[in-house]
Amino acid sequence: MSEAVGAPVLSARGVRKEYGEGDGLVRAVDSVDLQVGAGETVAIMGPSGCGKSTLLHLLGGLDRPSGGEVVLNGRRIDDISEKALARVRRTDVGHVFQSFHLMEELTAVENVELSALLAGRAPRAARRRAEELLERLGLAGRSGFLPSALSGGQRQRVAVARALCNEPLVVLADEPTGNLDSAAALDVLRLFRDLRESGQTLVIVTHDARIAATADRMFSMRDGSLVDETRLTGGTAGRLGALAGLED
């Protein structure tokens, strides 16, 4: 259905996810094919309940598909052991969630270093990496703060820093601006732009048109299937002035 810009880092072939059985069978994800190239930003957009979060879980090894293949960095991850899957989650994938999912009792830096500690890094190296990432994401002065003392945008920055901590091949973000106000969302969008410029591969599911529109490629998802792929870089978008009513 799609061809990737570079060599595919992450690809899905005929991926399905079903719940229930008989008449109650629900196809949350239905035969999805997708290839994500290195350094690419891919957005998957669709109304709530279309299965986009489930697809992201399947791509990130949080859940197993009922059928089809998920290949990450040339290796199938849909049929490997729980333990191997855990290793994939801690070294190859970084997750960013809509509701941040920070540990409330841990400070910003402790949250960030957690994934490094889980990956077995030395405490001192983990702390250094976490501090470095927070600084890079503009939170240098906030590393000792608890999440409750941070704004929504700052919390999501901490969550992104945590996702980046183990230098993942791909960062998967689920509605990263869903809980943010307009200004904070802009902040996160800029952050994703910077990540993209640094060569980070990103897959984002969202119903926020701003995120979808700024991706390299955008897929629309309906009822568990990808129905449409759009390259927003081409086409006829008018001049900005016209959009603001400056010219007719």
Q: Which stretch binds another protein (CB under 8 A): 70-78, 135-143, 196-204, 231-239?
A: 231-239
44 touches another protein by CB under 8 A: no
Instruction: Kindly write down the DSSP assignment for every residue of the chain, as one continuous string.
Output: ----SSSEEEEEEEEEEEES-GGG-EEEEEEEEEEEETT-EEEEE--TTSSHHHHHHHHTTSS--SEEEEEETTEE-SSS-HHHHHHHHHHTEEEE-TT----TTS-HHHHHHHHHHHTT--HHHHHHHHHHHHHHTT-GGGTT--GGGS-HHHHHHHHHHHHHTT--SEEEEESTTTT--HHHHHHHHHHHHHHHHTT-EEEEEES-HHHHHHSSEEEEEETTEEEEEE-TTSS----HHHHTTS--
Told to check if 82 binds another protein by CB under 8 A, we report: yes
140 binds another protein (CB under 8 A): no
Provide, rounded to whole angstroms, the least separation between the CB of residue 174 and another protein: 9
Nearest approach, Cβ of residue 22 and another protein (Å): 21
Contacting another protein (CB under 8 A), which of 105, 135, 167, 181? Answer: 105
- How many residues form the binding site for another protein (CB under 8 A)? 63
Task: Figure out which of the listed residues 40, 63, 78, 131 binds another protein, where binding follows CB under 8 A.
Answer: 63
Binding of another protein by 97 (CB under 8 A):
yes
Q: Which of 22, 23, 141, 246 binds another protein (CB under 8 A)?
A: 246
Residue 20 engages another protein in binding (rule: CB under 8 A): no
| d(C-alpha 167, C-alpha 140), whole Å | 19
Residues near another protein (CB under 8 A) are: 47, 54, 57, 62-63, 82-83, 86-91, 95, 97, 101, 103-106, 110, 113-115, 117-120, 123, 126-127, 146, 148, 162, 166, 182, 186, 189-190, 193, 209-210, 212-214, 218, 220, 228, 230, 232, 235-247
